[in-house]
Amino acid sequence: MKKLEEAIGYTFKNPKLLQRAMSHSSYANEMRLHEGSNERLEFLGDAVLSIVVSDYIFKHFSHLPEGELTKLRASLVCEKSLYGFSRQLGLGDYLLLGKGEQQNGGRERPSILADAFEALLAAIYLDGGMEQARQFVLRFVKPELHGGPEAFKDYKTALQEIIQQNPEELLQYVLVDESGPDHDKSFTVEVRLNSNVIGVGKGHSKKAAEQAAASQALELMGEKI
């Protein structure tokens, strides 16, 4: 686990917390671990993640209303994002899995890796406190919000600000297609202005599809953000 500590940039005072964070329920059951799996840590990590992300975007995106802040937070704490964060750390290499789960590709399963990220965050929080947890989370969240071409851009708000210059105009986002398995769904959304389609977007979440549709609408209008 020393290599994992190097990867996350934090050394545990209580290494057992780190081992527990990496212990999937299949492993805990198979080994009959008294301390159990990482499921309880995942529960705590989810709460810590939410407060850290909420605090950051509240302070740094003061122009966004409550509804948009909620959507932005959701895009950062969803399974897809956490899976990506876990892959950056290579968490799959350190997971402790039962034989069956390992044979079934558990080290690459998005839900398992996302849960492991939350459990790891909780372990850091319990071992080092909120500030250490905050630093760990923001290491991944900041690039998503500010980091170059892949940074989050709020196309929906930009489009809304243009449209609301004419109060009589009605802007709507309509989900027109949903496909794929639960762990890898694809959504297609149309953005409509007075019932006329002005943009279409696809994404692995409704939020991402809406942003893509708004981006296309802005492009067609000749607007850039």
Q: What angle do CA 205, 209, 210 make, to 5 degrees?
A: 115
Q: Which two tokens stand for residue 28?
A: 């805990």
User: Quick check: 200 and 213 in contact, CB under 8 A?
Assistant: yes
Contact 81, 75 (CB under 8 A): yes
> What's the Cα-to-Cα distance from 185 to each of 111, 165, 208, rounded to whole Å?
13, 35, 12
Catalytic residues: 46, 118
DSSP character at residue 104:
T
Please calculate the CA angle 135-10-121 and round it to the nearest 5 degrees: 60
In degrees rounded to 5, what are phi and psi of residue 187?
-120, 145
- Give the span between the Cα atoms of 197 and 174, in whole angstroms: 10
Q: How far apart are CA 162 and CA 151, in angstroms?
A: 22
**At residue 111, what is the residue type?**
S
